[in-house]
Amino acid sequence: MQSQLKIFNTITGKKEELVPLVKGRVGMYVCGPTVYSDVHLGNCRTFVSFDLIYRYLLFKGYKVRYVRNITDVGHLEGDSDTGAEDKISKKARLEQLEPMEIAQKYTLGFHQMMDIFNNLPPSIEPRATGHILEQIEMVSEIMKNGYGYEVNGSVYFDTVKFAREKGIYGQLSGRKIEDLLTETRDLKKQDEKRNPSDFAIWIKADPSHLMRWNSPWSIGFPGWHLECSAMSTKYLGRTFDIHGGGGDLKFPHHENEVAQNYGACNCAPAKIWMHGNMLLLNGKKMSKSDGNTVTPEQLFTGDSPHLSKGYTPMTVRFFMLQSHYRSTLDLTDEALQAAEKGFKRLMEGYKNLLTLEAKGSDEDVEMNNRLEAIIREIFENMDDDFNSPRALASLFEAVTTINAIKNGHIAAEMLRDDVLNSLQSTFRTVLFDIFGLKEEQSDSSDYGLTADLMGLILKLRHQAREEKNWSMADTIRDTLKELGVEVKDGKDGTSWSVN
RNA sequence: GGUCGGGUGGCCGAGCGGUUAGGCAGAGGUCUGCAAAACCUUGUACGGCGGUUCGAAUCCGCUCCCGACCUCCA
């Protein structure tokens, strides 16, 4: 019997049972990247987190519509959402390209990186520029309901009126409207806004601005927060099950999204809001703007002052899975090295599990019970707000027993057949379907040949050992080690693995 | 300054009122021609000071540090 999935809801600050609006189906919207530069690792962690969540929902049998947008317009630079330059637009001007060329370039790069991390693609990946009409429509509705006002062709959302009438502005991010109003920072075009906390939903374009669309108010472009409100509504309905994103989007992005949805339809967009936590580099937030960053490429090649060597994508994914998605994760070289070894141990354990044969003639009841309990715990932990680090711990506990059986420390006779089967299927499901890990075979194409050659080499070494020709045997072993192939002598023969 | 979140053994990282988390590193052992791998044993951790409790890393108060958000960021 499966336990019930509980999810931490940012709005209530509590874990809640997931009760989908439509039985058996889950609608999930996750804020995607703004495609104005290369993805950085922090983005990757967030999307790995939501990939885990998506995969687990699928495993639980839900039909999931996973929508993750591409923001290719409206995201402004500098302070405030007024007067500053659009990120895509700016990059286009600097590189003398069409804005859509910029968006295309970085969207492709983003997709490649998601693929490298073995993230499943979302069900729908809508672009902001492809939904200008929907956004204009939403602005109209917000104005019709009295929460938007136009000044010089730009339209702003009246946060104070909204807060007064609905009393929910600030609820998601835990902010008080009074505090927002006392914000004294000097903002551009501040004079157009009625209140400092108001934000633009439609922005009149300067003559030099490259991205521009006609609207009832001006030739301009939509505000940053608007596309998510419009697109989530379009593809998931006015109210849907889960809305997610990085924790740094809580305010103002998500807070304003909620306001816009209420402003347009007087209803809450999502029942559950989920936020992933930040990836830190040596104790500090990774951030493009202050240079404290390692790119995914640097991580893979090791070409960074922060790293002693490169790490494979799956090592990094495993590293991320080892911490809970709501905790900050500190990326350090030492931690990465530990993850690399841990990941290897886990995968080796899985391989060993596949070679096991259950004899079951002399059953160890306690051990079998414990293994069955471990299997149950894995899913109970995942049901508890996607606790992958705990699930991983259970897996490792099983690995110890698996290895002990494999090398004969525990007799195979003690393992029951059905326990072995469910252990094997659990490992396969959890490792590959839920955690999204995969084997990393450097040259998978000629793997068969390599295996045959290794068989020959090990046979020769075996012969040398029979003849007590130790120097020959050790030369073979040591040379292989230099080539990155580890030779492992066991009770019943020799095996090898690529490091 | 305001608002949140956090400080766990050498490192990373779970737990959040009583039970061994787990991984990596370290120590001892088994196995082995030697090694590696694997297995077994091993760590008296919970920022500090008070309090509540039969019992606190876990709850409360104070305090010190750190981080995030408040401005573009996943």
Distance A277 CA to B67 C1' (A): 12
Is the pLDDT reported for residue A444 higher than 50? no
Nearest nt to the CA of A324 via C1' is: B14
Query: Which of the four pLDDT bands, split at 50, 70 and 90, describes residue A48?
Result: very high
Is the pLDDT reported for residue A427 higher than 90? yes
pLDDT at position A443 is 47
Distance A463 CA to B55 C1' (A): 64
Distance A389 CA to B6 C1' (A): 18
Nearest nt to the CA of A197 via C1' is: B70
Whose tokens are 């040398």? That residue is A464
Is the pLDDT reported for residue A83 higher than 60? no
Query: Which of the four pLDDT bands, split at 50, 70 and 90, describes residue A195?
Result: confident
Distance A354 CA to B20 C1' (A): 27
Query: Which of the four pLDDT bands, split at 50, 70 and 90, describes residue A448?
Result: low
Q: List protein-proximal bases of chain B (any atom < 7 A from a CB).
A: 2-5, 10-15, 21-25, 31-40, 66-74
Q: What pLDDT, in 10s, does the model give residues A373-396?
A: 999 999 999 999 999 999 999 999
Nearest nt to the CA of A410 via C1' is: B39
CA separation, residue A138 to residues A40, A175, A213, A255 (Å) = 32, 25, 15, 17
Nearest nt to the CA of A33 via C1' is: B74
Distance A330 CA to B12 C1' (A): 8
ipTM, two decimals, is 0.95
Residue type at position A86:
D
Distance A149 CA to B71 C1' (A): 23
Report d(CA A359, CA A367) in Å as an integer: 14
Burial class (CB in 10 A: 0-12, 13-18, 19+), A111: middle
Q: What's the predicted TM-score (pTM) here?
A: 0.92
Q: Calculate the CA dihedral of residues A228, A229, A233, A237 and round it to 10 degrees.
A: 100
CA A436, chain centre distance (Å): 11
Bridge partners of A160, per DSSP, are none
